[in-house]
Chains A and B, each alone.
Chain A
Amino acid sequence: MCISFIMNDSSKLIETANLLLDISSLLMVSGANTNRANLSIDRFASVLNCKAYSLISHKTIIMTLTDEETDESCTRVQNIPPYIINFSVISAVSKASWNAISENWTLEQIEAEIERIKLLNRYPRLLVLFAVSLAGAGFCNIFNGDYLNMMVAFISTFMGLFILQQTHKLKYNLYIRLFLGSFIASVTALVGVYFNIGSNPQTALATSILFLVPGVALINSFTDLLDNNILNGMVRFTTGLMTVLAMAIGLFVAMYLFQLN
């Protein structure tokens, strides 16, 4: 008799709980707000004939899963890895949840789909560097920079993001990385100010560090607060604030070195 056939109910329930935990931690890491993570869990749980009750915090998820037929339940805890924003994952998980409901997927089908989503490719590093630098140049234009200023902003953003990515590879602390990225970007832009490149060199300096702005953290923080997920909202707001602080110190130190008033 094959062993897999005698898999009992409770181990099946544990497997389901682990899958749901995996999905919600994947969503949190990718930059979804708490409400969306809860929503996805509920959708997948309803497909699998279960009811899930979860406590989602910034670093840990606790979940109790109850089988609706047998009334058995199990509780599992999972730690959330460091956050890396990835909207493709959010989009793919959302699509999978709808397909799972309409086509009544089995546990194995959902597991296979989540494994596929985890392996989705990111954009190539060079494309990201180029696109974000172009965004930096765009910022510079928005704040009244001319095309020479935009060039300076482009180069500074490029340098800053490059440092941010390199230090990520070396596994530096996030806030040290943000400081270094901001510092390098502003030093590069300050060279532009020093040689007075373009009509408005200060603009290039102000916009060179904007690529670090914690937009997702701050927006998610407010949506979490509005959804009454106060704790998560406060955590996200604090992370955003820490990021802004690291950016500001980087700019601050660079400007102090150049004695710019």
Chain B
Amino acid sequence: MLEIILKLLEVSFWSGIAAVGFGILFNVPKSAVITIFVLGFGAGFIKFLLMHLNVHVVLGSFLAAFFVGIISLPMAHKIHQPPVVFSIPPVIPMIPGYFAYETILSIMNFIFTEGDVSKRISLIDAIFTNGFTMFFVLISLTVGVSLPMLLLKKNTVKKLDS
């Protein structure tokens, strides 16, 4: 049990680091860096906890992105930054890169190397499974992160308490 928790914390830590790395690539203000790390850590923790509990990766990513979207609203209000500044970088580590990689690899094998018919069919299965998982994770991330703002029907966080 302890081992699992430690592993979870390690992965969440690296999610936070990845979020900060992208934050710096996007030139975020210095005052937002710590918030981005915390949000990245939290999002990673939620996603991998849910996946450990056998929740599907699409739903897990959605809930983690939703968490980022919700927390970034009061934070934006508090440290006077627009929410995009720290709602986008924490979501980037959850982008389904591995599924994209598997899709490309399967397409490549399918077109250039594999001749055996039964293996070609399993490659088609791999292309569709990984490709559409990637697509749905992408949608769930973007919708999840922008949904809190849309639900509040506000254009700006400044007027949240009025």
Known: A91-B29, A219-B142. A207 touches B97 (CB 8 A): yes
B residues contacting the other copy or chain, number (CB 8 A)? 52
Q: Does A222 contact B (CB under 8 A)?
A: yes
Q: What's the minimum C-beta distance from A85 to chain B, rounded to whole angstroms?
A: 5
Q: Does B100 contact A (CB under 8 A)?
A: yes
User: Which B residues lie within 8 Å of A122 (CB)?
Assistant: 27
How far is it, in angstroms, between the C-alpha of A88 and the C-alpha of B44 when the chains are bound? 25
| Residue of B16, B88, B101 with most chain A CB atoms under a 10 A cut-off | B101
How far is it, in angstroms, between the C-alpha of A98 and the C-alpha of B82 when the chains are bound? 11
How far is it, in angstroms, between the C-alpha of A201 and the C-alpha of B6 when the chains are bound? 23
Known: A98-B158, A255-B105. A142 touches B27 (CB 8 A): no
User: Which chain B residue lies CB-closest to A244?
Assistant: B100
How far is it, in angstroms, between the C-alpha of A132 and the C-alpha of B112 when the chains are bound? 33
User: Which B residues lie within 8 Å of A210 (CB)?
Assistant: 95, 97
Q: Does B17 contact A (CB under 8 A)?
A: yes
How far is it, in angstroms, between the C-alpha of A215 and the C-alpha of B19 when the chains are bound? 12
Q: By the criterion CB–CB under 8 Å, are A219 and B27 in contact?
A: no
Known: A131-B20, A206-B101, A210-B95. A138 touches B26 (CB 8 A): no
Q: Which of B27, B85, B93 contacts A123 (CB 8 A)?
A: B27
User: Which B residues lie within 8 Å of A138 (CB)?
Assistant: 14-18, 21, 93
User: Which A residues lie within 8 Å of B105 (CB)?
Assistant: 255
How far is it, in angstroms, between the C-alpha of A36 and the C-alpha of B27 when the chains are bound? 18
How far is it, in angstroms, between the C-alpha of A260 and the C-alpha of B24 when the chains are bound? 34
Known: A32-B84, A33-B84. A219 touches B91 (CB 8 A): yes
Chain A, 54-93, CB within 8 A of any chain B CB: 85-92
Q: By the criterion CB–CB under 8 Å, are B27 and A86 in contact?
A: yes
Annotate A120-158 by CB proximity to B: 1 below 8 A, 0 otherwise.
001100011001111111110111000000000000000
Annotate B6-17 by CB proximity to A: 1 below 8 A, 0 otherwise.
000011001111
Known: A91-B81, A138-B93. A211 touches B32 (CB 8 A): no
Known: A210-B97, A218-B142. A39 touches B156 (CB 8 A): yes
Q: Does A230 contact B (CB under 8 A)?
A: no
How far is it, in angstroms, between the C-alpha of A39 and the C-alpha of B81 when the chains are bound? 15
Please list the 5 inter-chain residue pairs (A to B) with the smallest Cβ-Cβ separation, ordered nearest first. Answer: A135-B21, A138-B18, A206-B101, A222-B142, A138-B14
Offer 30 A-B interface pairs, CB within 8 angstroms, sorted by A: A31-B84, A36-B84, A39-B156, A86-B27, A87-B27, A87-B29, A88-B27, A89-B27, A91-B82, A94-B82, A123-B27, A128-B25, A131-B25, A135-B25, A139-B97, A142-B14, A142-B44, A205-B101, A207-B98, A213-B97, A215-B91, A216-B88, A218-B138, A219-B88, A219-B142, A244-B100, A251-B104, A252-B108, A255-B105, A256-B108
